[in-house]
C-alpha cells in the first residue's frame, strides 16, 4: 500500500468518525430523535472491507451501520437526512438510524435484530450463484451475535452450498453492556467457523490494511466459487453502546487503552512517523469536517418526511 | 397455453411449481427434502430433475432458509421455499415478522422481497401437538405478508401461481391431508391471476358461512345436511386471507342477514374474530348474532378421539348454523 | 407486610422482582444485561447484588434463554426471564408456541412450566420498525400462555407478582416509555393476587371503551376531553388479556350500549376483534356499531411524524368515541 | 464389563427393538394412528447412555424417543398405551408416539421440533446448579438437528454457564431423506462443540459399552461442576424415517452394511464368539418378546382416552 492509500483510508475513517460525531451532536440537540448506535473506534473494519468491494457487491450490516453505509459510498447527506427523518433520507425517514438501506450503493441495509442479517446476506449470495453477477456479499455482525442461532445456521448453509459470502464479525468485546468473554467459553469466535469447514482468520480490526488484506483473500475465495470466509476483526468501540451509556461495565484503564489503540489515532501516528507531513495527515480530517458540516446543514434544512405518505409502499 | 388436466391436490401444487419455474427463470425452489427426495409428501417430485440446480435441498435451518429466500429475492430471484409444517415456522418467525415484512416498506420501495413460502398445517389423525396447529391468524396480524389457504386442486394451482407472480412475500398454506386426495379436472396453464378474491362454494339465502382451508369440505357437507332441513347456507371459501375480500362477505351478509365463520384454528384470537368485527362495524343489520366455530382454545392432543373433541366437527358446524338461523 | 411507597413504573417492576425473589427461593431471574448492568432500562438494578447467582446475564440467545426458563421451570425453579423487546421474541417463538404452551397439557399435568417472561413493546419516538411492534395478539392465539399488559406502577407491581406466582407460563408486557414515568403511591408487599380481572379506570354511561397498555393514558385523556362535550365514556383497562375478563366488558356494554376497543397494535387481526366478536356473539343490543381503533395495518416508520400517522392518536380516539355515540 | 453386563445391554436393546417392532405392527394394523419414528438400529446409544444415569437424572429426547423412554425405565405397557391413545398411556394419549413424557422415570419427553429439546434440557441443567440435586441432564438429537440454531445456542449457553448437561448427537447419517454430508462441509459434527469450548468425543454408537464409557466420563465432568460434554454417537437407523419411507435415498449396499453392523447382531455375535451359549444370548430376545407381547395385549385391551377430558390440564 502506498502512502496515498493510507491517507485515503484515514480520510475514509475520518468521514465516518465525523459523521458519527455529527449524529451524536444532532441527537443531543434533539434534532435526531430515538436511539442511535455509533461506530466510533470501529471505522477500520468498514473501511478495510469496503475498500475491496466492487460496485455490484453487497453489504448487510447491523444497527451500528452508518459507517458501513458511508464506506460503501452512500453520501453523507442522504444518511443524515435519513437519521433526521427527512424526505431526502435514503429511505425517506422510514429506516432511521438503525434500519436504513441504500441498495443503489450496494448497501443492503442495517438490521436491528441481532444476527438476522446473516441469513439474508446468505440469500443474497445464493442469488449470485444463479445470476452470474460475480457478486460477493458481506455480512457484518458483532461478537454477541455469534450466540444467536441465526448466525451459525447461516454460516453452515453458506458453507454447505459454497456461497460467496464473507462473514465479518466485529469483535468489540462487548454486547451492549456485557463482556463477550463472560458469555462464551472459547474467546476465539473464529473457531466456530472453522468447525463448520469455513476458512477463518482473526485480524486486527483497528488496522484497515490488515482488514483489507483478509478481505481481498476472502473475495478471491468467493469469486472462485469456493464459498464463504469468516473474518473476526478485533476492535473496540470508544463510545457507549447507546447514547447515555455510562460504560460502568468497563474495567479501569480499558477506555484509555482503547483510545490509544483506536484506528484513526494509530494510522495518523504511523503516517507522521513515516514522514508524512502533519498537515497532510490533518487535512484528511478537515476535508471530512467540511463535507459533513455541509451535508448536515443541508439535511437540517431539508423537508421533514410527509405523514401523508406513511401508508405507502406496504405492498406492490 | 391453457389445458384441462386431471390432478389431485398434490399434483396441482406440483404442476404450479413446475409452471412457475418455467415462467420465471429467476424462480428457485428449496426446502428440506424437496429436491432429490421430492418432498416428504412427494409434492415436489420430478422438479429437481426438470430444473436442476434451481431446485435444491437445505439443511434443517428454517431461519437460514427464510433468510436465503429474502436475500435472494432482494437480489432478483423469485424464491419458493417450503416450510414443511407451519408449526416449524416459529423457530424462524423473526424472518417473517421482522424481516420479510419490512423489506419493501422500510426501504421506501427500493428493495422488494418477491418470495413465496409454501407450508401446510392442521391436524391429521394421530399428529402430535407440535404438528397440528392452525396458525394463519398470526400471519394475518403482520402487515406486509400476504396469506392464502387453499383446499381444492384448482385453487392449489391457481393460488400458488399467483403467489409466485406476486412481488411481495406470500405464505401459501396447504394441508397434508389434501395432497393425496381425489383427482379433479382442473384448468392449468393460463396467466397467473392477481392475488385476492374469494370462492363462492355454495349460494344460499339463509346464512352466510365464511370458511377457509381443508375444513371447507366439512362445512359444505354440513350445509348439504342442512339443505335437507330447509336451511339454505351460502358458503364462501376465503382462499385469500390477505388481502381478504371483506366486500364479498358484506354483500353476502347483506342478503342473508346472518354470519357464521368456521375455521379449524383456535377460536380466541382467530381470524374469525376479524371477519365478525368487520361485518358488525359496518353496521350491517343482522337477524341473529354472528357466530364463530373454531377449535376449543386448546392444545391438540395426539389421540384421535381427544383431538376430535377439540377441533370443530361437522356436527358442531351443523349445530352452529342451526342456531344461527334460529332452529 | 403491606406498605405504601412512592415508585415509578420501573421502580415498581424492580420492587415486584425483588419481592418475588424473596418470596420464592426457587425464583431465578435472567436475561441479556439484566444482572451486572442492571438492565438496559435500569429496571433490574440492584437485584444481582441482592440475590447473587440467582440473577444472571445471558448470551444473546433468546431461544436458549426461553428454553432455559422452560427446562428449569419443569425442574422446580420459578424462572423470570427478560426478552428485551417483544420484537425479539420471534427469533425464539417456537419456545413459546410449541414448547412452553404444551408442557402441562401434553404431559397431562405431570409437568408444569411456572415461568414468567417479562418483555416490553410498542413504539417510542424514533424507534425502528423492528423495535416498535405491538404483538400481544399473537400470544393471545396460543392456548396455554397467560398474557398481561400493564400501564401503571401499581399494576406493574401487582401483575408481575401474580405472574410469578402463577403456575403456568405468563408473558408480562411492559412498555419502555413508562419505566421512567412519574412516581406514584403504590401499595406493595401483600400476597400475590390471582391472575385475571380488569381495572375500571373511569366509570361512564355513554360508551364502553376497552383498552390496554400504555395507550390507556391517551384513552383517558381523550375521555376527559369528551367529558367536556358531555360524552361520558367508561374506560376499562384490560390488564389481563389471558384470562380476559369478558364478563366485565359485557356488563359494561349492557349499561352503555356502545363499545369501542382501542389498542396500539395493528387493527387487523388484533385482539380488539376478539372483544368485539365476543360482545356481538353474546347478542348484546348495541345502540351503535362497535368500533376498533388501532394502528393502520402498517409497518412502523422510524420518523416520528410518519409513525404518528400510523399509530392511534388522541384525536383518533376522540373522533372514534364521538362517532360511536353519534356526535 | 462382565458378560452379564453385556447380556443386560443386549436384553435392554432387544426390549427396545421388540417394542419398536410391535409399534410398527400395531401401526400397520391400524391400531396405532399417525406417524411413528422408530429407532431400530440405534438402540445402543440409548442403552449405553441411560445405563449410566441415576434416578434423578433427566433425559430429553426427540420424536424418535421410544427407546430412550424405555432405557430410562418407563415400562412397555404405558408406552404402548400412550402410542395406542389409551387412558393408561404415560400422558393419557395426549403426547402420542412423538411427544410423550414420563418425568417420574426421568424421561422429560420427546420433542417433535428439531433441535428444540436442547435449550430446554439446558434449562433443566440450570436448575441443577440451584437445587443441589446433582442431577445430570441428557439431551439427544440427530445429526440434522446440529444445523438448527437452537442447538448451538443451547451448547454455548451451557458452556458459558458450566451446566451439567450432556449433548448426545445420534449421527445416523440422515435427516429424514437427506444425507447429512450433503448439508455440511465438515462431517465431524463434534468440532462444533469443541469450538465452543465443550469437551467432545465421537464414539461408535452401535457399541453400548463404548457409549457408556463416554457417558460415564461426561457424567463425572458434569457432576464435578465442569459443565457440558458433547458425544457424537455414530449409528444407523435400519428402518425408514417414517412408516412407508422406501429409503430410495440410500446408496446401494448401504442398508445391507448397516444391518450387518447393527448393535444387536453385533453384540450377539461377540457374546457367542466369546463363548456365551447361544441359548443364553437368545433368551434375552425371548424375554423381551414375552414382556412386550404381554404389554401390548394389555394396552390393546385398555380403555381409549376419554374425549370428555380433552380440555383438561390446559392451565393450573
Ligand atoms: C434478537 C435480539 N436480541 C437482543 C437485541 C438487543 N441488542 C441490540 S444490540 C445488542 C448487543 C449486540 O452485541 P454485538 O453482537 O457484540 O454487537 P455490537 O453492538 O457490539 O456491535 C443487543 C443484545 C436485539 N436487537 N436483537
Ligand atoms: C424445526 C423443524 N424442522 C423440520 C422438521 C421436520 N423433521 C422431522 S425429523 C427431521 C429430520 C431430523 O434429522 P436428524 O436431526 O438427523 O434426526 P433423526 O431423525 O435422523 O433421528 C426433520 C427435518 C421438524 N420436526 N422441526
Ligand atoms: Mg460487540
Ligand atoms: Mg439423523
Q: Are residues B132 and B279 in the same domain?
A: no
pLDDT over 70 percentage in chain D = 100
Nearest neighbour of A96 by CB, restricted to C33, C128, C297: C128
pLDDT digit string, tens, across residues D238-297:
999 998 899 999 999 999 999 999 999 999 999 999 999 999 999 999 999 999 999 999
Q: Where in the sequence is the domain holding D245, given as residue range(s)?
A: 3-300
Residue C193 forms part of a structural domain: no
pLDDT digit string, tens, across residues B123-176:
999 999 999 999 999 999 999 999 999 999 999 999 999 999 999 999 999 999
pLDDT over 70 percentage in chain C = 100
pLDDT digit string, tens, across residues D204-216:
999 999 999 999 9
- Residue A289: which of A12, A18, A10 has the closest Cα? A18
Residue D307 forms part of a structural domain: no
Cβ pair D122:C107 closer than 8 A: no
Residue B201 has pLDDT above 90, yes or no: yes
pLDDT at position A294: 98
Residue B315 forms part of a structural domain: yes
Distance from C-alpha of C156 to C-alpha of D308, rounded to nearest angstrom: 38
Last residue of a domain, one of C140, C160, C188: C188
pLDDT at position B1: 79
pLDDT at position C1: 79
Residue D309 forms part of a structural domain: no
Q: Where in the sequence is the domain holding B212, given as residue range(s)?
A: 199-325
Q: What is the DSSP string of C12-51?
A: HHHHHHHHHHHH-TTEEEEETT-SSS--TTSTTTTHHHHH
Q: Are residues C148 and C215 in the same domain?
A: no
Residue D313 forms part of a structural domain: no
Residue C282 forms part of a structural domain: yes
pLDDT digit string, tens, across residues C177-223:
999 999 999 999 999 999 999 999 999 999 999 999 999 999 999 99
Q: What are the CA-CA distances from residue B230 to residues B200, B207, B216, B290, D280 (Å)? A: 20, 12, 20, 20, 73
pLDDT at position A281: 98
Nearest neighbour of D156 by CB, restricted to C59, C67, C146: C59
Residue A160 forms part of a structural domain: yes
Strands D58-60 and D137-142: parallel
User: Where would I find the beta strands (DSSP E) of A110-197?
Assistant: 137-142, 165-171, 174-175, 178-179
- ipTM of this complex prediction, to 2 decimal places: 0.98
Q: Are residues B149 and B219 in the same domain?
A: no
The arithmetic mean of pLDDT across residues B66-91, rounded, is: 98
Q: How far is the CA of D186 from the centre of ligand 4 (A)?
A: 15
Cβ pair C68:D128 closer than 8 A: no
pLDDT digit string, tens, across residues C307-316:
999 999 999 9
pLDDT at position C236: 98
Distance from C-alpha of C252 to C-alpha of C279, rounded to nearest angstrom: 11
Catalytic residues of C, which ones? 131
Q: How far is the CA of D114 from the centre of ligand 2 (A)?
A: 5
Cβ pair D101:C110 closer than 8 A: yes
Residue B63 forms part of a structural domain: yes
Residue B104 forms part of a structural domain: yes
Distance from C-alpha of A289 to C-alpha of A296, rounded to nearest angstrom: 10
Of the residues C53, C71, C115, C162, the best mutation for testing chain D's interface (the one with the most D CB atoms within 10 Å of its CB) is C71
Residue B303 has pLDDT above 90, yes or no: yes
| Distant-in-sequence, close-in-space partners of A282: CB < 8 Å, separation ≥ 6 | none
Residue D230 forms part of a structural domain: yes
Q: Is A117 on the interface with C (CB under 8 A)?
A: no
pLDDT digit string, tens, across residues C31-48:
999 999 999 999 999 999
The arithmetic mean of pLDDT across residues A75-102, rounded, is: 98
Q: Which chains are adjacent to chain B, needing at least 3 Cβ pairs under 8 Å?
A: A, C, D
Average pLDDT score over chain A: 97
Question: What residue has cell string 458450566?
Answer: D162
pLDDT at position A283: 98
Q: What are the CA-CA distances from residue B64 to residues A42, A122, A197, A200, D190 (Å)? A: 27, 8, 17, 20, 21
Residue A88 has pLDDT above 90, yes or no: yes
pLDDT digit string, tens, across residues D146-160:
999 999 999 999 999
Q: Are residues C173 and C235 in the same domain?
A: no
Q: Are residues B45 and B91 in the same domain?
A: yes
Residue A196 forms part of a structural domain: yes
Q: How far is the CA of B86 from the centre of ligand 2 (A)?
A: 14
pLDDT at position A55: 97
DSSP reduced 3-state for D59: strand
Cβ pair B60:D175 closer than 8 A: yes
Distance from C-alpha of A264 to C-alpha of A285, rounded to nearest angstrom: 10
Q: How far is the CA of A312 from the centre of ligand 1 (A)?
A: 30
Q: Which chains are adjacent to chain D, needing at least 3 Cβ pairs under 8 Å?
A: A, B, C
Q: State the CATH number of the domain containing residue D247.
A: 3.40.50.970
Q: Are residues B40 and B147 in the same domain?
A: yes
Residue B132 forms part of a structural domain: yes
pLDDT at position A297: 98
Number of domains into which chain A is organized: 1
Last residue of a domain, one of B156, B188, B220: B188
Cβ pair B277:C273 closer than 8 A: yes
Q: Are residues C121 and C16 in the same domain?
A: yes
Cβ pair B74:A108 closer than 8 A: yes
CA torsion sign, C264 to C268 to C269 to C274?
Answer: positive
Q: Are residues C182 and C207 in the same domain?
A: no
Q: Check residue B34 and give left, alpha or beta (phi > 0: left; psi -120 to 50: alpha).
A: alpha
Residue D306 forms part of a structural domain: no
Q: Is C274 on the interface with B (CB under 8 A)?
A: yes
Q: State the CATH number of the domain containing residue C273.
A: 3.40.50.920
- Residues in chain A within 8 Å Cβ distance of D191: 194-195
Residue C139 forms part of a structural domain: yes
Nearest neighbour of C91 by CB, restricted to A97, A148, A176: A148
Average pLDDT score over chain B: 98
Cβ pair D99:B302 closer than 8 A: yes
Q: Is the CB–ligand 1 distance for residue C88 below 6 Å?
A: yes
- Residues in chain A within 8 Å Cβ distance of D149: 148-153
Last residue of a domain, one of C125, C157, C188: C188
**Closest chain B C-alpha to C119 CA, distance in angstroms:** 16
Number of domains into which chain B is organized: 2
Residue D288 forms part of a structural domain: yes
Q: Is D193 on the interface with C (CB under 8 A)?
A: no
Distance from C-alpha of A218 to C-alpha of A204, rounded to nearest angstrom: 16
Mutation pick for ligand 2 pocket among D37, D61, D144, D184 (CB with most ligand atoms within 8 Å): D144
- Residue C152: which of C214, C204, C91 has the closest Cα? C214
The arithmetic mean of pLDDT across residues A142-150, rounded, is: 98
Distance from C-alpha of A249 to C-alpha of D154, rounded to nearest angstrom: 25
pLDDT at position A1: 87
pLDDT digit string, tens, across residues D44-67:
999 999 999 999 999 999 999 999
Q: Are residues B207 and B96 in the same domain?
A: no
Q: Is D153 on the interface with C (CB under 8 A)?
A: yes
Of the residues D61, D81, D94, D127, the best mutation for testing chain C's interface (the one with the most C CB atoms within 10 Å of its CB) is D127
C-alpha cell at D288: 423381551
Q: Are residues C141 and C220 in the same domain?
A: no
Q: Is the CB–ligand 1 distance for residue A239 below 6 Å?
A: no
Residue C194 forms part of a structural domain: no
Instruction: State the alpha helices, DSSP H only, in chain D.
Output: 3-28, 43-50, 66-71, 76-83, 117-131, 150-160, 190-195, 208-223, 254-261, 263-273, 278-301
- Residues in chain A within 8 Å Cβ distance of B79: 123
Average pLDDT score over chain C: 98
Q: Is the CB–ligand 1 distance for residue A77 below 6 Å?
A: no
Nearest neighbour of A153 by CB, restricted to B61, B98, B146: B61
pLDDT at position D140: 98
Residues of chain B in Cβ contact (below 8 Å) with chain A: 26, 28, 53-54, 56, 58-59, 61, 63-77, 79, 94-95, 98-99, 102, 104-112, 143-144, 146, 166-168
- Find, in chain D, the residue whose alpha carbon is nearest to that of C169: D315
Distance from C-alpha of A267 to C-alpha of D226, rounded to nearest angstrom: 44
pLDDT over 70 percentage in chain A = 100
Distance from C-alpha of C44 to C-alpha of C10, rounded to nearest angstrom: 9
pLDDT at position C327: 86
Distance from C-alpha of D123 to C-alpha of B301, rounded to nearest angstrom: 25
Tell me the residue length of chain D. 316
The arithmetic mean of pLDDT across residues B310-320, rounded, is: 98
Q: State the CATH number of the domain containing residue C12.
A: 3.40.50.970
Residue A306 has pLDDT above 90, yes or no: yes
**Closest chain C C-alpha to D210 CA, distance in angstroms:** 29
Of the residues D188, D195, D221, D230, the best mutation for testing chain A's interface (the one with the most A CB atoms within 10 Å of its CB) is D195
Q: Are residues B233 and B171 in the same domain?
A: no
Distance from C-alpha of D88 to C-alpha of D93, rounded to nearest angstrom: 8
The arithmetic mean of pLDDT across residues C291-300, rounded, is: 98
Q: Are residues C165 and C271 in the same domain?
A: no
Amino acid at each position: 500500500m502506498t502512502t496515498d492509500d493510507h491517507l485515503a483510508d484515514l480520510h475514509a475513517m475520518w468521514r465516518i468518525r465525523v459523521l458519527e460525531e455529527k449524529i451524536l451532536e444532532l441527537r443531543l440537540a434533539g434534532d435526531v430523535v430515538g436511539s442511535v448506535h455509533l461506530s466510533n473506534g470501529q471505522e477500520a473494519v468498514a473501511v478495510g472491507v469496503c475498500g475491496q468491494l466492487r460496485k455490484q457487491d453487497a453489504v448487510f450490516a447491523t444497527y451500528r451501520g452508518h459507517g458501513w453505509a458511508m464506506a460503501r459510498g452512500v453520501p453523507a447527506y442522504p444518511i443524515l437526512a435519513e437519521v433526521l427523518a427527512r424526505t431526502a433520507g435514503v429511505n425517506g425517514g422510514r429506516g432511521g438510524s438503525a434500519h436504513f438501506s441504500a441498495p443503489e450503493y450496494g448497501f443492503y441495509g442495517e438490521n436491528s435484530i441481532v444476527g438476522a442479517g446473516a441469513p439474508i446476506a446468505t440469500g443474497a449470495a445464493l442469488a449470485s450463484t444463479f445470476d452470474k453477477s460475480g457478486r460477493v456479499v458481506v455480512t457484518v455482525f458483532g461478537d454477541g451475535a455469534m450466540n444467536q442461532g441465526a448466525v451459525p445456521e447461516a454460516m453452515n448453509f453458506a458453507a454447505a452450498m459454497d456461497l460467496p459470502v464473507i462473514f465479518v464479525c466485529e469483535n468489540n468485546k462487548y454486547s451492549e453492556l456485557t463482556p463477550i468473554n463472560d458469555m462464551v467459553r472459547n474467546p476465539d469466535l473464529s473457531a466456530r467457523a472453522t468447525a463448520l469447514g469455513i476458512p477463518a482468520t482473526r485480524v486486527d480490526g483497528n488496522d484497515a490494511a490488515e482488514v483489507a488484506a483478509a478481505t481481498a483473500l476472502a473475495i478471491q475465495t468467493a469469486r472462485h466459487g469456493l464459498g464463504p470466509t469468516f473474518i473476526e476483526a478485533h476492535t473496540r468501540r470508544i463510545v457507549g453502546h447507546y447514547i447515555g451509556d455510562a460504560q460502568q461495565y468497563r474495567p479501569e484503564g480499558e477506555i484509555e487503552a482503547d483510545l490509544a489503540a483506536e484506528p484513526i489515532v494509530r494510522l495518523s501516528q504511523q503516517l507522521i512517523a513515516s514522514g508524512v507531513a502533519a498537515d497532510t495527515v490533518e487535512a484528511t480530517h478537515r476535508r471530512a469536517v467540511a463535507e459533513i458540516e455541509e451535508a448536515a446543514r443541508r439535511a437540517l434544512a431539508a423537508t421533514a418526511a410527509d405523514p401523508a405518505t406513511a401508508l405507502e409502499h406496504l405492498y406492490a | 397455453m391453457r389445458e384441462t388436466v386431471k390432478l389431485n391436490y398434490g399434483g396441482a401444487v406440483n404442476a404450479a411449481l413446475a409452471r412457475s419455474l418455467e415462467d420465471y427463470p429467476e424462480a428457485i425452489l428449496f426446502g428440506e427434502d424437496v429436491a432429490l427426495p421430492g418432498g416428504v409428501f412427494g409434492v415436489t417430485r420430478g422438479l429437481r430433475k426438470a430444473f436442476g440446480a434451481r431446485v435444491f435441498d437445505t439443511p434443517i435451518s428454517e431461519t437460514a432458509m427464510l433468510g436465503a429466500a429474502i436475500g435472494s429475492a432482494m437480489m432478483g430471484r423469485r424464491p419458493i421455499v417450503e416450510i414443511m409444517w407451519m408449526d416449524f415456522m416459529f423457530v424462524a418467525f423473526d424472518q417473517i415478522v421482522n424481516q420479510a415484512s419490512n423489506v419493501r416498506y422500510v426501504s421506501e420501495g427500493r428493495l422488494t422481497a418477491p418470495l413465496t413460502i409454501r407450508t401446510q398445517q392442521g391436524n391429521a389423525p394421530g399428529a402430535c401437538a407440535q404438528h397440528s396447529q392452525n396458525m394463519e391468524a398470526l400471519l394475518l396480524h403482520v402487515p406486509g405478508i400476504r396469506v392464502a389457504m387453499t383446499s381444492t386442486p384448482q385453487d392449489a394451482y391457481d393460488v400458488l401461481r399467483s403467489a409466485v407472480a406476486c412481488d411481495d412475500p406470500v405464505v401459501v398454506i396447504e394441508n397434508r391431508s389434501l395432497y393425496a386426495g381425489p383427482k379433479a379436472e382442473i384448468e392449468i396453464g393460463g396467466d397467473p391471476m392477481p392475488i385476492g378474491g374469494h370462492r363462492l362454494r355454495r349460494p344460499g339465502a339463509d346464512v352466510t358461512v365464511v370458511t377457509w382451508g381443508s375444513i371447507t369440505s366439512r362445512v359444505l357437507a354440513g350445509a348439504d345436511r342442512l339443505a335437507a332441513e330447509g336451511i339454505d347456507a351460502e358458503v364462501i371459501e376465503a382462499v385469500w386471507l390477505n388481502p381478504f375480500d371483506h366486500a364479498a362477505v358484506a354483500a353476502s351478509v347483506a342478503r342473508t342477514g346472518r354470519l357464521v365463520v368456521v375455521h379449524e384454528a383456535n377460536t380466541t384470537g382467530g381470524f374469525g374474530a376479524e371477519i365478525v368485527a368487520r361485518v358488525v362495524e359496518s353496521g350491517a343489520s343482522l337477524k341473529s348474532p354472528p357466530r364463530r366455530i373454531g377449535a376449543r382454545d386448546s392444545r391438540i392432543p395426539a389421540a384421535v378421539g381427544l383431538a376430535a373433541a377439540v377441533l370443530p366437527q361437522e356436527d358442531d358446524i351443523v349445530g352452529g348454523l342451526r342456531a344461527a338461523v334460529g332452529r
